[in-house]
Structure 1
Amino acid sequence: MSEIYRAIKQLLQQGNFQQALSHAQQALQNQPTDQELLYFSAVAQRFLKQPQQAINSINKLLDIVPNHGRAHQEAGYCYLALNHVEQAQQAFHYATVCNPALLTAWQQLKKLQDNHTELAADNNNSAITQQITRLSALPKQILGAMDLVHEGKYALAEQVCRGYLKQDKHNPDAMCLLAEIGVLTKVYDDAIFLLETCIELHPEYLPAKIQWANLLNTLGQHHRAKPVALAYLAEKPDDNFAQSALANSLIGIGEMEQGIDIYHQILKREPQRAGIHLQLGHALKAQGKLSEAINAYQQAYQIKPSFGDAYWSLANTKTYRFSEQEITSMKRYADLSQGEHIDRIQFCFALGKAFEDQQQFEQSFHYYQLGNQLKAKTTGYDPDYQQKLVDLQIKHCTTELFDQAPPANSLAAPIFILGLPRAGSTLLEQILSSHSQVDATMELHNILGMAMKLRGRMTNDTPAYPANLAQLSGEQLKALGDKFIEETQHYRQGAPYFIDKMPNNFIHIGLIKLILPNAKIIDARRAPMACCFSGFKQLFGEGQEFSYGLESMGRYYNDYLRLMDHWDQVLPGFVLRINHEDVIDDLEGSVKRILDFCQLPFEQACVEFHKNKRVVKTPSSEQVRQPIYRSAMEQWKNYEQFLTPLKQILVHQ
């Protein structure tokens, strides 16, 4: 297809729009959902003064790729041609949301607001002007690379950036953009190196510092993000982005009150900041101050009625019940075919929960399914590749590998709780962290980061990890174990043992065994249908891309079972399996099993886990503050008629 693309693009550049359209539409007969062909068709139709036909092509494209920034920009031009000014403004706005590098979309947005003052009310004109100034000052190559990044063309964007850096070796804009590409492609070491180098070479370049602080927070390295944010604020004390980054880092290391106080300070100056109200709500919810958190979320959507995240955050408390007025408002946004894509996804998941609470299960499933379908379009998840990663773990993590492994870090302090999300891991964490000798931490990214570093850059379709585990020396394994203990020290409060509750670590049990052979591992297991459906109806903050489809969810569960069976064979006794249903049926017996496995004395506080006032940041935060209840065990049966694709896959496990 690349030759066809080049030919059509050349025709467009030459002004041969009719010929370009003919070529594109002829090719679309064989490839009716091809994104590039639909986009080329829309461009040609617009220049041929066929705006309505162009909009039809754009709508087909946006149905496939809802966050296609250039498609929204084309729609803006078409609506202008039709004199639909308000729709044009919305289209250009969506274009800038999907692709903030589209300078012409920003310019059109400002022009519309300058000429139509009634359109300026809902938009920050000064922010638009600042963005235009910033983009206009960038070298053309970097602006082009930034555009490619937001269109998802990371490899090409990286190539452009590296090419520009050959002529302007230490350009801070190029270095920061290359770091952003590293984050998006999960090559975190490159991103870290680039940002550290950029700050060292250009200490006055503040965007690098805020990007660095945000990356550290994203990686869970809040103790490192805090001084970076403080250094930025020393130069710009009233900068809201830096203050938010500082608050995020403080909350991440458990200094909750200080972080919350910063949010209050920002809101005192700018009470209309819906996003800050949302962040404040998250922090209050983690503290267990549910009524205050709900008030913060409501404040957020009152300021910005289209703020899907505020409604989803209310639903994600698991206890909030929406009013009919709120449901009507959510439906208005969820049922729009146009709009900000992420908001629509959030409205759909919130409506799924709202109708579930009303026992309108058909309506509920409609919105859960729609939300998942919309979300799946943004992830690019490939279940075949996930299956391959599991196959590689089984192939290379053999009995011989562990029998021949040299001694590594001997500490028995870490207790890993892993499995699938929504399988009861937060409940087990709450039980264990109620023990006087055990600290809770958070969902730590350290093991995932080590695995990513061992994977290295992908030179072909097969990563170096885990095959390269066999090549690591005793010194290297010990160094990795020592590094894990050192890096996680910041999240501990001084108890002899601590918990790392990261569900996805089940893939890396072999790595954990090699670097921390005396660690304890607990597999949180839940009945297949209950676990998978609970994951399907959850909109996760990040990751868990497999959960946004019944088939992909079922396949992932089967791969999880397959890999856990392998760990049982090659590492007998290393993993304790705790079934969620057993915890509900026999809490005290399950507690004793867990404590015996961790070689801890029995403490009644573990049975009375709901009295534990610790900070909890996962979706189960309110559920683990209540005594054991059984109501969630069979919730999936209310949707059984809709779950045939999931059932069929799980039956063949």
Structure 2
Amino acid sequence: MDNSSIDNVKQALQAGNSELAISLAQQELARQVEPLVIDELYYMLTVAQRLQGQLTEALASVLILIQRQPDYARAHQEKAYILLAQKHNNEAISAFLKATRLNPALLSSWSKLQLLYQQMGEQAALDFCAQQIHFLQSLPKEICGARDLMYEGKLFVADNLCRRYLQGNKHNAEAMLLLAEIGVRLKVYHDAEFLLESCTELYPDFIRAKTEYVQLLAKLGKFAKAKDVAESLLAKQADNRHYLASKAGAMVGIGETQDAIEIYETILQKSPNLANIHLMAGHAYKAAGQLNKAITAYQQAYQQRPEFGDAYWSLANTKTYRFSDKELADMQSLSKHENVDSEDRIHCLFALGKAFEDRQEFTLSFDYYRTGNELRKRKAHYDNDALDEQINQQLTLFSTEYFAQRASAGHKAPDPIFIVGLPRAGSTLLEQILASHSQVDGTMELHNILSLVSRLGGKKGQYPEMLNSLSSDYFAKFGQQYLDETQYYRQGAPFFIDKMPNNFMHIGLIKLILPNAKIIDARREPFACCFSGYKQLFAEGQEFSYDLNDIGHYYQAYEKLMSHWDRVLPGQILRVQHEDLLDDLEGQVRRILDYCGLEFEANCLTFYNTKRAIKTPSSEQVRQPLYRSAMEQWRNYQEFLTPLFKALGKEPDTDK
């Protein structure tokens, strides 16, 4: 980053020379500079123009900045200052509120809101502002500053500040909580979990820490534990709807879907205007196969909060819902509205992509998919080089000799059947087929292997090399731990399925700790697989999917690593090509069951009749017989997919 260009403008501002700051910022913006530098320059230009009294120019500058960085809280705060100076008080309130939604630690915005609400006589809003101001002022100065930095995305600076404070204030509850929150944002989940567990043990009445702990446990797929923590919260406040919703979400995770639905319905009977509860109820209905109720719940969600993009996307993500003209118009309006949060915009854009795909307006559909992906990619911070390094570490460590030397290590249980691959490659279909067998429990995308990797990794770069330093006894212990942790998701069958696709990266670890586990590689034709992933808005964990070049690169890296596993673990992984399954269902089912050591059962051919909770985007597709319509959907967008073809090093067959 070119810091000198920023420093000159900053020095002029600090010296009170806003006129010089404006001139310098404009000169620097005329040059070709890095995006982050441009954003910083626009911010300082806005501040200087406002201080100079150039309100119209300042508003124009800040709107450019917001268009570039829609989640930049201080940009919205600057917009609010400008609107306030222009006497547009209602618009200023909206901008201050947007700023505080993005960064709740902006004390200045809360103070301005307090003054505005005093003038308006809005007592309820005034009381809420007073609570927020009191909370921020009650925090240690260092922790308040670190919280501000965290919300601004300066995570490593916030992390360092928080750790320094803890060195002199060991076990400070607010600092422990904040460090855990930063850890979640950095995806250092094991550290965050340890901090929250410690914090809740040290301070059992610290409700905010327990609430954050429940959310993290659910994110990690530790739903049984999340349910326990939620119940401990409910022991103190039995009617708290937030705690009830947390418990219900955990129950869906462990398969107690109908009981969870009853909780959601009870909450909504008392408070029918809660949009997010309608949404979560919709997810539970969908998982249980009650699609009509799910659709109604999603519709009620956006009726309660018209800008609720996730409600529209959830309707699109049923894969069968068709939007009305009015719904389309509403989503199009939301996707363009500057005051709509970026997450709501992104959800609407993906929903619009699906809606116009269904209407066979493919050019317009792709425009929405592309815009949604571009916005999401800005938040993802995905790095192809980091992926390549990760793949190379696996290739370097795990050799034929490595496994031969550790052949007697690991837990000998044959219970798990891992299904790996890329998202949208047909893994849910394979799971549904196997879960239709009397000897196999279907579960979900379990996070346990990824959690083990996180624990082993510690500091960046230690996994998988650190496995060399472990005693072989640890591998059997890790295998037992995996079996113990996943017991919650089983219903008593001898075998069970773990369908986390990202586990393909960690097949070496799986075979060390569970050498008798079965591994099925769900493979799909690359154009179809990659484009299907590109138009799918994932909750998290698939950051590579928001760019055609990235997803093509990722597919090639996946193929490279799977070829390596085939070489060093010959005959131990079964590859199932999705297209072969469509061509010869019975033959492929017999092949899969034979690999798993299971007798043939006809129920596996009528998998769509099996009743079980399914939480993936393919839930409705696997509740019906096989169909082939999705095989060539990517061809409708072929003219736009050149970056994908280049990344894959393959060109489409022009004869089709």
TM-score (norm 2): 0.95
Partner letter of residue 417 of structure 2? I
Residue 79 of structure 1 contacts residue 85 of structure 1 at CA under 8 Å; is this kept in 2? yes
Correspondence for 1:54 among 55, 58, 80: 58
SS of the residue aligned with 1:494? Answer: coil
Is 1:69 aligned to residue 69 of structure 2? no
4+ residue stretches of structure 1 with deviation over 6 A? none
Q: 2:246: which partner in 1?
A: 245
Per-residue deviation, 1:338: 4.6
Q: 1:155: which partner in 2?
A: 156
Q: 1:620: which partner in 2?
A: 618
Gaps of 5+ in 1: none
Is 1:414 aligned to residue 443 of structure 2? no
Q: 2:572: which partner in 1?
A: 574
Is 1:102 aligned to residue 106 of structure 2? yes
Q: 1:427: which partner in 2?
A: 429
Give CA deviations for 1:319-341 in whole Å, capped at 9, x if unaligned: 00000010011000112345210
Residue 421 of structure 1 contacts residue 503 of structure 1 at CA under 8 Å; is this kept in 2? yes
Partner letter of residue 48 of structure 1? Q
Q: 2:199: which partner in 1?
A: 198
Give the 3 Å change call, closer, same or farther, for CA 362–208 of structure 1 in structure 2.
same
Is 1:530 aligned to residue 528 of structure 2? yes
Partner letter of residue 344 of structure 1? R
Gaps of 5+ in 2: 652-656
Give the 3 Å change call, closer, same or farther, for CA 59–420 of structure 1 in structure 2.
same
CA distance in 1, matches of 2:563, 2:144: 49
Give the 3 Å change call, closer, same or farther, for CA 622–538 of structure 1 in structure 2.
same
SS of the residue aligned with 1:258? Answer: helix
SS of the residue aligned with 2:235? Answer: helix
Partner letter of residue 315 of structure 2? L
Q: 1:25: which partner in 2?
A: 26
Give the 3 Å change call, closer, same or farther, for CA 500–553 of structure 1 in structure 2.
same
CA distance in 2, matches of 1:124, 1:537: 40
Partner letter of residue 86 of structure 2? L
CA distance in 1, matches of 2:562, 2:127: 54
Per-residue deviation, 1:284: 0.5
Per-residue deviation, 1:30: 4.4
Per-residue deviation, 1:128: 4.7
Give the 3 Å change call, closer, same or farther, for CA 169–554 of structure 1 in structure 2.
same
SS of the residue aligned with 1:522? Answer: strand
SS of the residue aligned with 2:556? Answer: helix
Give the 3 Å change call, closer, same or farther, for CA 113–344 of structure 1 in structure 2.
farther
CA distance in 2, matches of 1:129, 1:234: 29
Identity of paired residues, percent?
A: 53
Q: 1:401: which partner in 2?
A: 402
Is 1:36 aligned to residue 61 of structure 2? no
Give CA deviations for 1:126-182 in whole Å, capped at 9, x if unaligned: 655543332232222211111111111111101111222233322211110001111
Residue 190 of structure 2 contacts residue 451 of structure 2 at CA under 8 Å; is this kept in 1? no
Correspondence for 2:91 among 87, 100, 111: 87
Q: 2:654: which partner in 1?
A: none
Residue 258 of structure 2 contacts residue 288 of structure 2 at CA under 8 Å; is this kept in 1? no
Per-residue deviation, 1:238: 2.6
Once structures 1 and 2 are overlaid, which stretch shifts more, 158-167 or 367-376?
A: 158-167
SS of the residue aligned with 2:520? Answer: strand
Per-residue deviation, 1:618: 0.4
Give the 3 Å change call, closer, same or farther, for CA 366–265 of structure 1 in structure 2.
same
Partner letter of residue 383 of structure 1? N
Q: 1:587: which partner in 2?
A: 585
CA distance in 2, matches of 1:291, 1:109: 42
Give CA deviations for 1:399-426 in whole Å, capped at 9, x if unaligned: 1211111421001100000100000000
Residue 11 of structure 1 contacts residue 20 of structure 1 at CA under 8 Å; is this kept in 2? yes
Correspondence for 1:477 among 475, 478, 495: 475
CA RMSD of aligned residues (A): 1.9
CA distance in 2, matches of 1:607, 1:352: 33
CA distance in 1, matches of 2:135, 2:241: 18
Q: 2:450: which partner in 1?
A: 448
SS of the residue aligned with 2:475? Answer: helix
CA distance in 1, matches of 2:49, 2:374: 29
Once structures 1 and 2 are overlaid, which stretch shifts more, 321-330 or 465-474?
A: 465-474
Residue 261 of structure 2 contacts residue 284 of structure 2 at CA under 8 Å; is this kept in 1? yes
Partner letter of residue 235 of structure 1? K
CA distance in 2, matches of 1:152, 1:332: 28
Q: 2:277: which partner in 1?
A: 276
CA distance in 2, matches of 1:32, 1:249: 43
Q: 1:551: which partner in 2?
A: 549
SS of the residue aligned with 1:524? Answer: strand
Per-residue deviation, 1:346: 0.5
Q: 1:540: which partner in 2?
A: 538
Partner letter of residue 622 of structure 2? V
Q: 2:377: which partner in 1?
A: 376
Q: 1:221: which partner in 2?
A: 222
CA distance in 1, matches of 2:619, 2:390: 31
Once structures 1 and 2 are overlaid, which stretch shifts more, 494-503 or 400-409?
A: 400-409
CA distance in 1, matches of 2:132, 2:235: 24
Residue 226 of structure 1 contacts residue 249 of structure 1 at CA under 8 Å; is this kept in 2? yes
Partner letter of residue 643 of structure 1? L
Partner letter of residue 422 of structure 1? R
Residue 524 of structure 1 contacts residue 580 of structure 1 at CA under 8 Å; is this kept in 2? yes
Per-residue deviation, 1:237: 2.2
Give the 3 Å change call, closer, same or farther, for CA 30–631 of structure 1 in structure 2.
closer
Residue 401 of structure 1 contacts residue 470 of structure 1 at CA under 8 Å; is this kept in 2? no
Q: 2:294: which partner in 1?
A: 293
Residue 277 of structure 1 contacts residue 296 of structure 1 at CA under 8 Å; is this kept in 2? yes
What is the 5 A alignment of 1:338-357? 338-357=339-358
Q: 1:259: which partner in 2?
A: 260
Correspondence for 1:631 among 614, 629, 632: 629
CA distance in 2, matches of 1:233, 1:355: 44
Q: 1:605: which partner in 2?
A: 603
Per-residue deviation, 1:32: 6.1
Give the 3 Å change call, closer, same or farther, for CA 260–181 of structure 1 in structure 2.
same
Per-residue deviation, 1:55: 2.6
Residue 175 of structure 1 contacts residue 194 of structure 1 at CA under 8 Å; is this kept in 2? yes
Give CA deviations for 1:585-613 in whole Å, capped at 9, x if unaligned: 11111100110000000000100000011
Once structures 1 and 2 are overlaid, which stretch shifts more, 5-14 or 328-337?
A: 5-14
